[in-house]
Each structure stands twice: as C-alpha cells, then as structure tokens.
Amino acid sequence: GDVESAERIFQSIKAKDIITYNAMVKGYVGNEMFEKALDLFEQIDIELGDVTYTIV
C-alpha cells in the first residue's frame, strides 16, 4: 500500500478515534513496518478495544 499517503491523511485528521488508529496500525503491520506500528500503538491515548490488541 501507499504508506506515505496514508500517513499524510492520518496526520491531517484532527479527531482521531480507535478506528482511525486501528487502520493505521494495521496498514503498518500489513507492510511489515512493525516498529512504526508499535510506536503508533504506544501513542494511542484513548481506550483500546480488543481489535487493537489483536492487530498488534
């Protein structure tokens, strides 16, 4: 996938929610960018759902 475009879109979203974070983390994992996925996971400042833990 086009990770750079996804990152730009993600950064432009002011009110990120769990769905937004899940999509970005899953995108990183799907592109084998595990360190970025983990870094973003650690930045999430909202209550996590089971889906988030499953992705990571």
Q: Return d(Cα 39, Cα 41) in angstroms, integer.
A: 5
The 10s digit of each residue's pLDDT in 8-48 is: 999 999 999 988 999 999 999 999 999 999 999 888 877 66
What residue type is 9 in one-letter code? I
- CA 22 → CA 11, 44, distances in Å? 14, 10
Domain ranges of the chain: 3-55
Q: Return d(Cα 3, Cα 25) in angstroms, integer.
A: 11
- pTM for this prediction: 0.78
Residue 11, pLDDT score:
96
